[in-house]
Structure 1
Amino acid sequence: MSNFCAAPNCTIKSNRSASLFFRFPRDTERCKQWVENCHCKDLEDITPDQLNRQYRLCATHFEPSVICKASSYRTRLKDNATPTIFDLSSQLNKPQSRKRKRIKELSEDEARQMKGRKKDSVDQSKTSKDDGEGQDDSETNHPPQLTSEEKKHREYLKSLFEVLLVLGKQNIPLNRHTEEVQECDGLTPSNFQALLDYRMNAGGDEALRKRFETSAVNAECCTSTQQRQMMEVCENCVRDELLQEVREGHFSLVTDDVVEISGECHIPIFIRFLNQANCLREEFVGFLPFEGDEETLMERLLTEVAKWGLNMDYCRGQAHFSSGLHSSKMKAIATKLTEKYPTAVHTPSSTCALNVSLANGVALTGIQIVMSTFKKIESFFSESPSLQLELENAISIFYLGNEEKANDLKEACRTNWTMRHDAFEVAVDVVESLLLCVDSVHDNEDLRWSDQVTHNALEISDALADFEFVAALVVLKNTLSFTRAFGKNLQGPTIDVYFAASSLTAVLHSLNEVLDNIEVYHEFWFEEAVNLAAALEIPVKVPRLYLRKYRPEAGTEIQPESYFKEHLTAPVVSQVIKELNDFFSENHLNALRYLTLVPAVMGQLKFNMSEENNVEMYRNDLPNADTLPAELHCWRVNWKHRGKVTLPSTVHETLQLAEVKFFPNVLAFLRVLSNLPVLGLEDVEGDASRKRFQMYLQNTPDKHRSKSLAFLNIHYNARHDLDFMVDSYVKMYPHNES
């Protein structure tokens, strides 16, 4: 999308001006009328769809009467609005400028008429403001007159919405008690009611006071159903404002691991997009109920996206982080979305290490035991600094003669090490210390720990002291050692990402070689697992659940080594290979090849690239695909002869360049490329929404979680329009108006 006005002689830019910008209409006839009024031949050969996506006109080219203010933060055009105010007179006196801009020639009479129309429009606007002359509602879009009772009711609703917004922003549950407990006598009022009372008594809210004065003493100010309805309206209005910029360009869908809200499973959904300042953002947009089969979930997701006003045809990427039993469903959804929308490229998420994503995608019991135990470990040691100190003391005991190794492990354990690229290497090194630590906490000889802490310690101890866990951990460590450097580079600087994509073939070749020689590799890995189990004093045996399910015949015994080769080592290697192929499809790799448009990457490659060979997937996103080869050549020449200067090294830095607007195809490619979830968020503010989402989950017990409250808390600094909320609520629930 262009960030400047498409009208001739207009120099207004969207990122440097407070002026409003409007998209060209998709309707063919209306779009043709807009183009004719612009008198710009450059626009005549462009399709209405491309004009709608790539070009804008600023508000100075429209009569004030066709611009409607829908709310304090939302302005739109009337349905039949056309631009009529243009300054083309300078083009008549400058032939060279006329040739460059290719503006249609106007006669002097036409130019005078256009100037006169603009002057009359300005005078009319001033007269309307000074004299206060009213116009017909259909022309000015003024709301209908409200009765006195309706005004009072809306003021009352505004007070309720203000209180709800405060509760949401501060993450205060509306009710401190469950619905069953609320029926009991002698309980304090809900948080919502308490704030309303305080607002009336201390804040002097007349709308609330008058409402309650005329109501019965025991009347409910707002039923729980009405509260939920109002919270949904708050959420929808804030989301609508948040997604205004997204609707004007491309985006990507990113989902996080399934979370529980009030006992029900939901998928958190994020939207990744470039704002008008070409800064990459990833915003939380809501929760999706995780119920039903893959087809049902996909249709529900598409329905929600459409409800939010987003067009999946503009989706250019998708990433889904999931674990356990949910992983297979999310992979199926990703596959179905890719089939339906081929340009929605499935990639890993930049917010999660590749090795962790690969491990979560392996649908084997032993692997899922490891990943679920990692979650328990992370949660356990984040509860108290004392527990972290206990672990560090255990590390010091085990690495008494190797202080350097001990310090490295302590430093690793102070981070979220279970989500690192080398998580499985760290786990193997620290597992003995972990077991010593949790056993000590469970024994609780000095009575330092609570019952809940000792119980959690016992759960972790039981998991660690199982040979299936040890074997799975060792297999993961060795298998994913082939992808560790690849995954780390994938989340590194842009130049590393480009070369990582080029090295995928070598990674897959190594893993396939392991699979071809699985007997040899398994022998070494199993021996390592046995030695680690001996150090932990864990017996080597076949999992009990397997023996119960598949009882061996009398006189036969299943050997652990053969069992784990068949049911662990070989399947893990096979599934990791499959996961890599799913993550890095040909479309994904083709997209990453366009990282050569970043000047620093071009310089590293000595400016020898051939991006135009992979243009087909994004041809419809380009303003003029036919000129791409020539434009790419000019783009390379532009940077090749810069001398010894520091070249922009990221997509974000390149998008901020002033000259990039002169390369519209390159600009379009960079904007699409930046949306790929595999690329990191370079701006510090870009992932603020995700951080607040994680804080919400950490600080809010499951029983107090609410979808709408979570949304308002995460977007606590979002703008909101109380009048718009009240209008929306009254329209959605007219039966509640009294």
Structure 2
Amino acid sequence: MHAGGRAVQYGWLPQSCTQKGAFTHASSGIYTGRCQRWVENCRRADLEDKTPDQLNKHYRLCAKHFETSMICRSSPYRTVLRDNAVPTIFDLTSHLNNPHSRHRKRIKELSEEEIRTLKQQKIDEAFEQEKMNQESVDNNIQNLATEEGGDDPVEDDVPLTQEERENKDYLKSLFEILILMGKQNIPLDGHSADELPEGLFTPDNFQALLEFRINSGDEVLRKRFETTAVNLAYCSEAQQKQMLEICESCVREEMLREVRDSHFFSIITDEVVNLAGEEHLPILVRFVDDSHNLREEFIGFLPYETDPEVLAVKFHTAITEKWGLNMEYCRGQAYVVSSGFASKMKTVATRLLEKYPQAVYTLASSCALNMWLAKSVPVLGVSVALGTIEEVCQFFQQSPQLLADLDNVISVLFQGHELKERGNELKELVRSHWTSRHDTFEIVVDLLQALVLCLDGINDASISSVAGRAHILSSTLADFDFVVIVVIVKNILSFTRAFGKNLQGQTSDVFFAASSLTAVLHSLNEVMENIEVYHEFWFEEATDLAVKLDLPIKLPGKLCRAQQGNANSEITPENYYKEALSIPAVEHIIQELKDIFSEQHLRALKCLSLVPSVMGQLKFNTSEEHHADMYKNDLPNPDTLSAELHCWRIKWKHRGKDIELPTTIYEALHLPDIKYFPNVYALLKVLCILPIMKVENEKFEVGRRRLKAYFKNTLTEQRSINLALLNINVDIKHDLDLMVDTYIKLYPEKAEFQEDFPPSSSSEPTEET
């Protein structure tokens, strides 16, 4: 037995029953009987004469002495015992073999004679105890509670002093302010000292909110700071950082608790971002919650390392040791990265696969296959072209007038019945985030002439900053190097366009796409075998487009400068781009497809035939057993899988005429009778969390959108790892008491209520407390 700890300790009686007045009499019915059982099971004869109220008030029992079925985990911070809970797990002999416990006091097992003697002594002492005041009683109980017996030390839950209560209330106010700032995306620093005149003190945002609470009537804060100089910083930056880290940790832990309860999960990273001048990887986790909903939540940032091997180690350490996830339950990994980072993240994926073979390396549903392939092409020119395309998209979408100007140019260029239809389609596309589509390069090629003409028109009509940027973009687009890159990449990716589109389609589309991979690879291998012919056609298309833009057909500028003075150089633009772009791009895409659609990944996608609509398209002639072997250890009853799958097929094959077949995993997981198919349910859960499967319900995919919104709406110098997590996970509940207790435990020297706040009459800013 322990003193009452927090979060994982339990009272002598179930907390759900400990309402005021429930145990005022020692003979209070069922609870008295349960107290006796608790005392007997603990073998604490010295406590047999205690009333239920005394036991519940002054004694605690550790959670490890209860069966897990006796614990109702309705909250991560306030665990409650079931009404009929009785401690049954005790080890009264382990200390005999423990050499470190020889100096600890032990409570021996009493004989019946010793018990009777002890009871008589207690009766004799009862009269004297009643004369003692409440303070003496509390002290005696505390002394008794510090005795240790077996593995169950007993202590008193010492009440807080007035100063301790006020200090906790003070810390709670600080945490409330920090959480508010995180949720509202308010930076801690409101002013730069370099921008203020010398001698002028202006509080930062945190102190300003704190002062506002004081002025609004917060008595705890007022008493805390009533003697403090008005120009004194109430809470140091170091203390703010420590408290923010605790806020971040508690919010993340609340989320990860649900992930652990779900067991299986997948890890996804988004594009590298800049935080406080350093590059970080945003990490998201995908899992199925208790309500059978697929969720994708943001869990934190990892500092980016240039060495891929070091990055792999730190990535694994952060997930397993820092955040406490068991990678044995990881069933998928996907990395959405900007150009230049792809090869390093592939190293991370490879290292994780070596340790955890079931953590399948897949494509993320949020990224079109063709864009993912283009970003990973190891050709610098492709990376530059992708950056230019993104800049052009952002440039025109910054103003309705710019979009209107582009519409007018498109209308002029796309005349005639057939061209007009494509022109109208392009007008709609430029108003969306078209740079993330599977046909992005096709759109760029079709729009290129219109983009250049429109940018040139803006440049001629204005001398503003917009015109300056338009001039730079126009010069970049109207370059033969850019033209030939987008044309060749467009043609190579045309072989994977339909395949990639299906991967982002319905569940049945994904299932049948897995079967078409062989054909896609066959086509690309044929291209590779006949690259001379294919490249000739691609280069001819590029030169035709360049002629429309009145561009010279030439080698890249860097290569031209290197060739100056070399009259014997026989390198032609066509041969150069074949060797530098076409061949490496085709080879790379073939290999990437093989890596990301490994045999294990394809077997997993074949299991999508469990979805009833896919079964129907296959005429219920499916064989999931063979493919489901890879998840055999994840099933609750693997021996009955074959029979269960047979019943699952029969259920849908002979359904009523008015019953429609569920078309997605999401619909299948929410079927009322899914509980009668435990193996099917387990398989569907694992398939659902594969990163390639899209989140059907958009409200459970807010993590990524909020992540992008945070970086779009926050200046680089004001970004904070801790505040970002609070802002992105704004709907995750938090426990202020837990945050305060954690802070007091981690920083006891800084949590003292007495601090030195010397009054100051000087108008000069003083040092932070």
Aligned residue pair count: 627
Question: Could you say what secondary structure the match of 2:584 adopts?
Answer: helix
* C-alpha distance in structure 1 between counterparts of 2:390 and 2:86, whole Å: 58
Give, as a single letter, the amino acid of the residue that structure 2 aligns with 1:518: I
Q: In structure 1, what is the equivalent of residue 425 of structure 2? A: 408
Q: How many Å apart are 1:663 and its aligned residue?
A: 1.6
Question: Could you say what secondary structure the match of 2:673 adopts?
Answer: helix
Q: How many Å apart are 1:390 and its aligned residue?
A: 2.2
Give, as a single letter, the amino acid of the residue that structure 1 aligns with 2:731: N
Contact 2:285 2:298 in 1 (8 A): yes
Q: Tell me: CA distance 1:336–1:182, structure 2 relative to 1, closer, same or farther (3 Å).
A: farther
Q: Tell me: CA distance 1:270–1:184, structure 2 relative to 1, closer, same or farther (3 Å).
A: farther
Give, as a single letter, the amino acid of the residue that structure 1 aligns with 2:606: R
Within the candidate set 553, 559, 582, 2:572 is matched to 559
- CA-to-aligned-CA distance 1:329-353 (integer Å, 9 cap, x gap): 1111112111221111111110111
Tell me if 1:156 matches 2:160: no
Identity of aligned residues (%): 54
Q: In structure 1, what is the equivalent of residue 741 of structure 2? A: 727
* C-alpha distance in structure 1 between counterparts of 2:413 and 2:257, whole Å: 56
Q: Tell me: CA distance 1:663–1:63, structure 2 relative to 1, closer, same or farther (3 Å).
A: closer
Tell me if 1:476 matches 2:489: yes
Moved more, 703-712 or 385-394: 385-394
Listed as ranges, the matches of 1:128-527 within 5 Å are 144-178=158-192, 185-186=199-200, 188-201=202-215, 203-248=216-261, 249-306=263-320, 307-401=322-416, 402-445=419-462, 450-451=464-465, 453-527=466-540
Question: Could you say what secondary structure the match of 2:169 adopts?
Answer: helix
Contact 2:528 2:587 in 1 (8 A): yes
Q: In structure 1, what is the equivalent of residue 588 of structure 2? A: 575
Tell me if 1:620 matches 2:617: no
Question: Could you say what secondary structure the match of 1:682 adopts?
Answer: coil
Q: In structure 2, what is the equivalent of residue 672 of structure 1? A: 686
Q: Gaps spanning 5+ residues in structure 1: where?
A: 1-17, 20-58, 86-132
Q: How many Å apart are 1:733 and its aligned residue?
A: 2.2
Q: Tell me: CA distance 1:179–1:613, structure 2 relative to 1, closer, same or farther (3 Å).
A: farther
Q: How many Å apart are 1:365 and its aligned residue?
A: 1.5
Q: In structure 1, what is the equivalent of residue 759 of structure 2? A: none
Give, as a single letter, the amino acid of the residue that structure 2 aligns with 1:172: I
* C-alpha distance in structure 2 between counterparts of 1:275 and 1:142, whole Å: 39
Q: How many Å apart are 1:310 and its aligned residue?
A: 1.0
Contact 2:340 2:376 in 1 (8 A): no
TM-score after normalising by structure 1:
0.80
Within the candidate set 696, 707, 716, 2:730 is matched to 716
- CA-to-aligned-CA distance 1:48-73 (integer Å, 9 cap, x gap): xxxxxxxxxxx9x9799985999884
Give, as a single letter, the amino acid of the residue that structure 1 aligns with 2:269: T
Contact 1:66 1:139 in 2 (8 A): no
Contact 1:258 1:268 in 2 (8 A): yes
* C-alpha distance in structure 2 between counterparts of 1:493 and 1:65, whole Å: 40
Q: In structure 2, what is the equivalent of residue 75 of structure 1? A: 79
Give, as a single letter, the amino acid of the residue that structure 2 aligns with 1:672: V
Listed as ranges, the matches of 1:560-709 within 5 Å are 560-644=573-657, 645-709=659-723
Q: Gaps spanning 5+ residues in structure 2: where?
A: 1-15, 18-62, 90-137, 147-151, 753-769
Q: Tell me: CA distance 1:314–1:432, structure 2 relative to 1, closer, same or farther (3 Å).
A: same
* C-alpha distance in structure 2 between counterparts of 1:246 and 1:65, whole Å: 20
Q: Tell me: CA distance 1:379–1:731, structure 2 relative to 1, closer, same or farther (3 Å).
A: farther
Contact 1:285 1:711 in 2 (8 A): yes
Give, as a single letter, the amino acid of the residue that structure 2 aligns with 1:603: G
* C-alpha distance in structure 1 between counterparts of 2:165 and 2:587, whole Å: 67
- CA-to-aligned-CA distance 1:592-634 (integer Å, 9 cap, x gap): 0110111111111011112211233212111122222222112
Contact 2:298 2:704 in 1 (8 A): yes
Q: How many Å apart are 1:542 and its aligned residue?
A: 1.2
Question: Could you say what secondary structure the match of 2:734 adopts?
Answer: coil
* C-alpha distance in structure 2 between counterparts of 1:601 and 1:208, whole Å: 63
Moved more, 306-315 or 509-518: 306-315
Question: Could you say what secondary structure the match of 1:542 adopts?
Answer: coil
Q: How many Å apart are 1:726 and its aligned residue?
A: 0.9
- CA-to-aligned-CA distance 1:132-181 (integer Å, 9 cap, x gap): x9996979998643332222222111111111111111111111234665
Q: In structure 1, what is the equivalent of residue 764 of structure 2? A: none
* C-alpha distance in structure 2 between counterparts of 1:265 and 1:677, whole Å: 24
Q: Tell me: CA distance 1:354–1:568, structure 2 relative to 1, closer, same or farther (3 Å).
A: same
Contact 2:203 2:233 in 1 (8 A): no
* C-alpha distance in structure 2 between counterparts of 1:151 and 1:277, whole Å: 39
Give, as a single letter, the amino acid of the residue that structure 1 aligns with 2:181: L
Moved more, 498-507 or 337-346: 337-346
- CA-to-aligned-CA distance 1:109-139 (integer Å, 9 cap, x gap): xxxxxxxxxxxxxxxxxxxxxxxx9996979
Moved more, 376-385 or 189-198: 376-385
Give, as a single letter, the amino acid of the residue that structure 2 aligns with 1:195: L
Q: How many Å apart are 1:444 and its aligned residue?
A: 4.0
Moved more, 492-501 or 652-661: 652-661
Q: In structure 2, what is the equivalent of residue 105 of structure 1? A: none
- CA-to-aligned-CA distance 1:239-269 (integer Å, 9 cap, x gap): 1111211012100000001011121111111
Contact 1:156 1:208 in 2 (8 A): yes
- CA-to-aligned-CA distance 1:400-438 (integer Å, 9 cap, x gap): 444322211101111111111111111100011111222
Give, as a single letter, the amino acid of the residue that structure 1 aligns with 2:213: R
* C-alpha distance in structure 2 between counterparts of 1:139 and 1:553, whole Å: 88
Q: Tell me: CA distance 1:315–1:194, structure 2 relative to 1, closer, same or farther (3 Å).
A: same
Q: How many Å apart are 1:229 and its aligned residue?
A: 1.4
Q: Tell me: CA distance 1:63–1:477, structure 2 relative to 1, closer, same or farther (3 Å).
A: closer
Question: Could you say what secondary structure the match of 1:265 adopts?
Answer: strand
Contact 2:539 2:574 in 1 (8 A): yes
Q: In structure 2, what is the equivalent of residue 121 of structure 1? A: none
Moved more, 61-70 or 218-227: 61-70
TM-score after normalising by structure 2:
0.77
Question: Could you say what secondary structure the match of 1:240 adopts?
Answer: helix
Question: Could you say what secondary structure the match of 1:244 adopts?
Answer: helix
Q: Tell me: CA distance 1:392–1:591, structure 2 relative to 1, closer, same or farther (3 Å).
A: same
Contact 1:65 1:140 in 2 (8 A): no
Give, as a single letter, the amino acid of the residue that structure 2 aligns with 1:461: S
* C-alpha distance in structure 1 between counterparts of 2:329 and 2:69, whole Å: 32
Q: In structure 2, what is the equivalent of residue 7 of structure 1? A: none
